[in-house]
Structure 1
């Protein structure tokens, strides 16, 4: 099973626990793939593993049903295994942001530069492609996709978000997706209640950026939705290069809970003002920390 599928086992188990699912509740590959923003293949492998662990059982039609919530809780509470490739993954990300890598690289160049086996490189490239910052060229080459590499561009991304995210909450076609936002609130509450100290950096980025994307998706405005997702892809590696101050990150998650409470109550104008203040404080603070160089602790992942 791939590293991604292994991580999804824990994430789906946590979803069962934090989402309040009960015996008999149904899970489908499609919805889980959309939630975790991955393809169906690793979700399928993870659900098969959960079936073998006694958490799920295959349904009569498609999908699976929850059969043992306690077993899911044991899996989600278990300490995560250390991913031996995570350090290499972060090194590649840092090298990419610093401009130390060419726009195009062959697999042999990756193997030599990072002292990898072919199997480990394949897993790393698959993950990088899935997260949207590299793509395969014809043959054995790979091309890095655009990312934010300058502090000024990073500041600009937050100024742009201050325009579109508050406005999205006031769109005339805004339609509340209550189940999704309630689930996002549970995830943020889970972080606040202690998971913030142990969740990997990449997963924290996904949870926080995913929360903002779920809110903007309610606007029904394709251009707002697409724009935020593009910005998140561009800033991903810039955020990966930071040492996260989890105390500050926890404060941001508390703000996310407050924001979601406003949206779930239908108080969108207040939520819009809150979103503007949240992003206005977040951008300059994070940029100032980034300006001191990578390695400075920051908790800004929203």
Structure 2
């Protein structure tokens, strides 16, 4: 498998995850730029991934209009974890456990995780896109020390505590009806059983999409950039916190309450509810600090 093909295969899995997580109905439009923005990749691998999904009959292509979901979500099965996805989570876990050095050569990772050069490149591309690793000048890779302690996750939530309620109070704040309905359906899916059945990726992305969509509705480019950056930083420790899923039902209900307030244009109350929601999460994370420490 070529390097480009391996990256496209990873994007295929991410698009299927997105269709599944957002319960997209047959006929839902899948704009390439929207997918590229959501998955934080360029349009090239997205276009290749959509072509592969078209070959599999999962999406359809309409001339001059683009790609659309071809099958109802219930007929889509999330792909079994491939070598790239499996290695991604092993690297994350090893890094958090201190079993992987903060600086490491590509050959050492290929050997440790039994990957081809193309597979390793796909893993490292994802890691670099998410902001917790980067290529060293000339040789090897280094990982961010910001992402390896429980304090990092707690600090990221304190930053969000300052930012997100304020975003809901921006002049001209507008959460459109289509986005609101999509977010509400995603939360209801969790309460209907998704908390137990969704993958760690799906749970994380659902939370990211909810909070980023609410901040994006502010129209404030500085707020939007900040929330996207902090969400990339908190990804690793968020995965580990998902070992304790009991708190997700309360989170989903809190999200639904915030959406109802915003739908009624009661933004002051929504901002207060968002602050209470993030404070609740901070308290929950503090209680599971031993889980975060591994």
**Which TM-score applies when normalising by structure 2?**
0.84
Alpha-carbon deviations, 1:222-278, whole Å to 9, x = none? 332222222222211112234523332232122212222222232211111111111
The residue that corresponds to 2:127 in the other structure is 128
| More displaced 10-residue stretch of structure 1: 197-206 or 180-189 | 180-189
Q: Which runs of 5+ in 1 are unaligned?
A: 296-302
Q: Secondary structure at the match of 2:247?
A: helix
Taking structure 1 as reference, are residues 191 and 120 closer, same or farther at Cα in structure 2, changes over 3 Å only?
Answer: same
Q: Secondary structure at the match of 1:27?
A: coil
The residue that corresponds to 1:54 in the other structure is 57
Taking structure 1 as reference, are residues 134 and 158 closer, same or farther at Cα in structure 2, changes over 3 Å only?
Answer: same
Q: Which runs of 5+ in 2 are unaligned?
A: none
Alpha-carbon deviations, 1:177-210, whole Å to 9, x = none? 3333332222222222222222211221111022
Distance of 1:116 and 1:56 partners within structure 2: 30
Alpha-carbon deviations, 1:10-60, whole Å to 9, x = none? 235437x834454xx543211222234443234323322332243433222
Counterparts of residues 12-23 of structure 1 (less than 5 Å): 13-14=19-20, 18-20=23-25, 22=27
Taking structure 1 as reference, are residues 289 and 82 closer, same or farther at Cα in structure 2, changes over 3 Å only?
Answer: same
Counterparts of residues 66-105 of structure 1 (less than 5 Å): 66=69, 68=70, 71-76=71-76, 78=77, 80-105=79-104
Distance of 2:84 and 2:284 partners within structure 1: 31
Measured after TM superposition, the shift of residue 174 of structure 1 is 1.9
The residue that corresponds to 1:281 in the other structure is 280
**Contact 2:241–2:285 under 8 Å retained in 1:** no
Distance of 1:19 and 1:141 partners within structure 2: 40
**RMSD of aligned Cα (Å):** 2.8
Counterparts of residues 26-45 of structure 1 (less than 5 Å): 26-45=29-48
The residue that corresponds to 2:174 in the other structure is 175
Alpha-carbon deviations, 1:71-120, whole Å to 9, x = none? 343542x3541334444322321333345544432211222444444343
Distance of 2:36 and 2:247 partners within structure 1: 30
